[in-house]
């Protein structure tokens, strides 16, 4: 039972990663690789801030701002320098590695002996501190995203991703929308990095490897499991997809696989989920949970 509780708690914290990527990957239709650098950037910023005396909440805010700065750089490279979005993200991600080393001063920094956000839940049973923190943060962030998307600015943001040419004809500054989207998205990813670092008790310069796969897994599994949903419901599905993904990893590890195989397992799980619509066409399976999954034409 403790392992399941831990998996749920980790799923809630990592769901922020999926929510951040959802804004660019699904709404703006931009493949953003910046997250692989933004995640450890948020972790490095938060851990270093805490070590130097900042409160855990302030450290998380700094991580969010650092993530937004990284997203802003990617957005400017994409919209103003006219660099392909994928390459722009890779450039920022690569630069972030050196920045993270500068921030931490070394490749790994521990939070041993320092208070974290989880310290406020110390009276709860084992792993319930992570679940409680994850629930609070994911509810707040999801509510803010839902509120944002329902505003006129949010509707313009959605229109930019749906049809940029039409959006421009309506007077929407699409470049500005893309820059804001990338900044907010990576800000959320940076916040996720800060929370995971505080949960793990350390930040490592290499902890961003494979995060793009984890984020995509949360999104795809949520779409596969729950099918056709409204936009707001899809945001909730991303969180549930993250929890399901963690439970799948737990089940696989219980079969005897090593933790060194996690990235391999993650890629396999994601590939299987993305192949389900094709398998549906081949095997003529008519399951409702496949209706909402997007496929490549």
Buried b (16+ CB within 10 A) or exposed e, 80-115: eeebebeebbbbbbeebbebbeebbeeeebebeebe
Q: Whole-angstrom Cα distance, residue 40 to residue 206?
A: 7
Tell how many helices (H) and how many strands (E) occur in the chain.
11, 2
- Distance of CA 290 to CAs 60, 127, 220, 274, 280, Å? 37, 33, 11, 10, 8
pLDDT digits over 239-273, tens only?
A: 999 999 999 988 888 887 777 787 788 888 888 87
pLDDT digits over 47-105, tens only?
A: 999 999 999 999 999 999 999 999 999 999 999 999 999 999 999 999 999 999 999 99
**pLDDT at residue 281 in the model:** 66
Residues 23, 28, 30, 31, CA torsion sign: positive
Instruction: Tell me which of 281 and 158 has the higher pLDDT.
Output: 158
127: left (phi over 0), alpha (psi -120 to 50) or beta: left
Tell me if the pTM is above 0.85. yes
pLDDT digits over 1-58, tens only?
A: 788 999 999 999 999 999 999 999 999 999 899 999 999 999 999 999 999 999 999 9
Give the residue among 1, 3, 6, 12 at the shortest CA–CA distance from 195. 12
The structure tokens listed for 139 are 């509810």
The partner residues of 202 in beta bridges, in order of sequence, read 110
- Distance of CA 139 to CAs 17, 90, 142, 236, Å? 14, 30, 5, 9
Question: Do the Cβ atoms of 7 and 249 come closer than 8 Å?
Answer: yes
Q: Whole-angstrom Cα distance, residue 253 to residue 259?
A: 7
H or E element, residue 100: helix 85-104
Q: How confident is the model at residue 223 (pLDDT cuts 50, 70, 90)?
A: confident
**pLDDT at residue 280 in the model:** 63
| Phi/psi of residue 138, nearest 5 degrees | -70, -35
Question: Do the Cβ atoms of 290 and 277 come closer than 8 Å?
Answer: yes
């Amino acid at each position: 039972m403790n392992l399941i509780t831990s998996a749920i708690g980790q799923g809630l914290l990592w769901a922020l990663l999926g929510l951040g990527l959802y804004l660019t990957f699904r709404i703006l239709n931009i493949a953003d690789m910046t997250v692989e650098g933004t995640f450890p950037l948020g972790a490095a910023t938060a851990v270093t801030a805490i070590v130097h005396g900042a409160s855990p909440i302030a450290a998380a805010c700094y991580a969010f701002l650092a993530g937004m700065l990284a997203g802003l750089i990617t957005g400017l490279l994409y919209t103003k320098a006219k660099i392909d979005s994928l390459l722009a993200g890779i450039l920022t991600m690569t630069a972030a590695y050196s920045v993270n080393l500068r921030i931490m001063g070394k490749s790994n920094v521990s939070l041993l002996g320092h208070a974290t956000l989880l310290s406020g839940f110390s009276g709860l049973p084992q792993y319930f501190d992570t679940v409680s923190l994850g629930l609070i943060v994911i509810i707040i962030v999801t509510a803010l995203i839902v509120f944002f998307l329902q505003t006129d600015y949010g509707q313009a943001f959605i229109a930019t991703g749906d049809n940029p040419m039409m959006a421009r004809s309506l007077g929407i500054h699409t470049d500005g929308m893309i820059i804001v989207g990338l900044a907010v998205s990576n800000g959320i990813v940076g916040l996720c990095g800060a929370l995971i670092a505080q949960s793990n008790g350390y930040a490592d310069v290499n902890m961003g490897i494979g995060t793009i796969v984890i984020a995509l897994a949360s999104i795809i599994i949520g779409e596969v499991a729950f099918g056709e949903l409204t936009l707001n419901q899809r945001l909730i599905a991303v969180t549930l997809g993250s929890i399901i993904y963690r439970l799948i990893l737990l089940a696989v590890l219980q079969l005897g696989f090593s933790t060194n195989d996690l990235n391999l397992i993650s890629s396999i799980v994601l590939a299987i989920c993305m192949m389900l619509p094709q398998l549906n066409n081949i095997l003529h399976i008519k399951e409702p949970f496949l209706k909402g999954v997007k496929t490549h034409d």
